[in-house]
Amino acid sequence: MKLKHKIFKYTLSINLIIIIIISSLFLIFFISNLKRSTLNNIYLVNTSLNNSFEECFSYIEKTLKNILENNDTIFVFDNNPIISGYAKKTLNKKFNEIIDSKYCIENMSLIQNSKTIVGDYEENKTNFFIKNDTPYIQIEKVLQSDNNRKLLLLFNLKKFYENFINNLKDNKYYYLLIKTDNEFYNLNMNEMSKLENINNFLFLKDRFYSSSVTKNLEFNIIFSKNYINNLLFWIFFIFIFLFLFSILMLIIVSNKLSNNLVRSLNKFMVFSKSIGSRDFKQFIPNEDDEDEIKELSSAFNNMSKKIEIFTKNMEQLVAERTEEIEAQNEELETQNEELEKINKKLEETSVRDGLTGLYNRRYFNEKVEEDFELAKRNGMYFQMCIIDIDHFKNINDTYGHLIGDECIKSVTTILKENLKRYTDKAFRYGGEEFVFYDISNKNENFEKLLKKIRKEVEESKCIINELEIKVTISIGACIAKPKYEDIYEKFIKEADEALYDAKEKGRNRIILRKN
């Protein structure tokens, strides 16, 4: 991985982890505070609602008390029509004043034996009822002088709630929860409905309001969870947007940071490569590069100068040393060539017979086994002969060893002329004896070759210092395909025995044993 990618990767990873941790802590803190603040708001709103109810019902209590203490309430039931009529007009006027008040009293009536005496409101069977999606509370007060006479007051709960809720922020998410006979009703700004499940709302269970005026009725302000869910949705949406935007900005910043760091490093890399190619140019940093880069470039330039001087000195030293080494190498090559020539001569001398120039017996022992095994593996004929100069001892005794050596040379010359194809197969075996062998797929020519050699030796004359000496040879030979268990010594023995037979039978002849 390139350094730029590593810097970008590590910078982005570290900052991304930090952003995730901070964002998660912020989100957790915000959500927990949201619920806490919502419950606090509900508490405050319920407290305010209780105060409003207390104020309203205190006024109603006081109003009912004042009406009941008024003499007109008694005079209404007087037998005198003039007195009762005047009392009714007075009470009607008083009722109308109360109905027009701010405390949401919509109607009032004086009832006797379920019959309306004053007012136009007729008694309802229940204290809480809903009419035209509007909840009402019927409040009654019995006259102390007669239980059959009572004062009824109709309280518009919806109007009261609207007056109260209009002063609240986000009032469309607040609801008035009405509990009566274990049934729950939900009142908001738009409608009134019965609740089957109140788990979709947040509310304080210990904040239900009840009063002696509102028998079997309890009230509570509840808060819709949809508002919180909607708020959380937008919070998450904004959070994700800001998070992705932060990542995008982080990528841009990390990429720019890595580019700025790597840009100078790339320059140093190019500069280093130029030093490697012996281009000792000076590194010039940009004006906007960091101070550390400028200091590093200065150190690099000083190092480049020192390397340039050192390189030139080393090149001069290497050139001088190279000349010395080349001169020494030329001398060594000359010496090696002379040594190779000497070694070749020594090697040749070690395997050649000094008198005849043929290979000696030591080389024969090395060579014959290798060729014999080759013939055995390939199923070829192994043809061998031993040649001996007849009466050679008498020649030495009569004419001396020098003349004997000349006779040997004469025979060797004839052998070389006939064995040009087999020069690496002809050997001086010892004294006046020679060995020759061949491997071949056929055995016809070997015997003809031996006869030719014997005849040419017989017909030749060895003339030394005007001295003519007649020389003949005897040949013992064998021809066969070696078997797996055969060894070459067996063939030497066969050829040697054949030579012995040739000597016994009068010399100057060939004895050939086949198979």
Model confidence at 207, pLDDT cuts 50, 70, 90, reads low
- For the full predicted model, state whether its pTM sits above 0.85: no
Q: At residue 241, does pLDDT exceed 90?
A: no
Note the pLDDT tens digit of each residue in 116-167: 877 777 777 788 888 887 888 888 877 765 567 788 888 888 887 787 777 7
The secondary element (H helix, E strand) that includes residue 176 is: strand 174-180
The secondary element (H helix, E strand) that includes residue 315 is: helix 291-351
Residue 135: inside a domain: no
Note the pLDDT tens digit of each residue in 29-87: 777 776 677 777 777 777 777 787 777 778 777 777 777 777 666 667 667 777 778 87
> Does residue 183 carry a catalytic annotation?
no
Q: At residue 355, does pLDDT exceed 70?
A: yes
Model confidence at 13, pLDDT cuts 50, 70, 90, reads confident
Residue 478: inside a domain: yes
Sign of CA dihedral 484, 487, 493, 499: positive
Q: At residue 491, does pLDDT exceed 90?
A: yes
Residue 357: inside a domain: yes
Say what percent of the chain tops pLDDT 70.
81
| Ramachandran angles phi, psi of 121, nearest 5° | -90, 130
> Closest Cα partner for 385 from 512, 504, 485?
512
What pLDDT, on the 0 to 100 scale, is given for residue 1? 46
Stretch among 151-165, 410-424, 463-477 having the lowest mean pLDDT: 151-165
Choice between 275 and 165, residue whose per-residue pLDDT is larger: 165
Q: At residue 268, does pLDDT exceed 90?
A: no
- Residue 53 and residue 211: Cα distance in Å, rounded? 9
Q: Which of 432, 485, 489, 497 is catalytic?
A: 432
Structure tokens at 432: 């006046």
Choice between 169 and 420, residue whose per-residue pLDDT is larger: 420
- Residue 289 and residue 279: Cα distance in Å, rounded? 23
Match 């060539």 to its residue by tokens. Answer: 337
How many other C-beta atoms can be found within 10 angstroms of the C-beta atom of residue 157?
23
- Residue 159 and residue 178: Cα distance in Å, rounded? 15
Mean pLDDT of 321-333: 88
Q: At residue 240, does pLDDT exceed 50?
A: yes
- Residues 6+ away with beta carbon under 8 Å from 227: 170, 173
What pLDDT, on the 0 to 100 scale, is given for residue 301? 74
Q: At residue 11, does pLDDT exceed 90?
A: no
CA 170 remoteness from chain centre: 53
Structure tokens at 238: 């904004």
Residue 465: inside a domain: yes
Name beta bridge partners: 221. 176
Structure tokens at 217: 């009725």
Residue 183: inside a domain: no
What pLDDT, on the 0 to 100 scale, is given for residue 78? 65
Please count the structural domains in the chain: 1
Average confidence score pLDDT of the chain: 80
| CATH code of the domain covering residue 462 | 3.30.70.270
> Closest Cα partner for 92 from 113, 78, 73?
73
* Domain coverage including residue 467: 353-514
Most confident of the following: 95-104, 240-249, 386-395: 386-395
Residue 410: inside a domain: yes
Q: At residue 264, does pLDDT exceed 70?
A: no
Residue 399: inside a domain: yes
Mean pLDDT of 372-385: 93
In 3-state terms the chain splits into helix, strand, coil percentages (rounded to 5) of: 60, 20, 20
Q: At residue 231, does pLDDT exceed 60?
A: yes
- Residue 161 and residue 145: Cα distance in Å, rounded? 35
Residue 339: inside a domain: no
The secondary element (H helix, E strand) that includes residue 142 is: strand 134-142
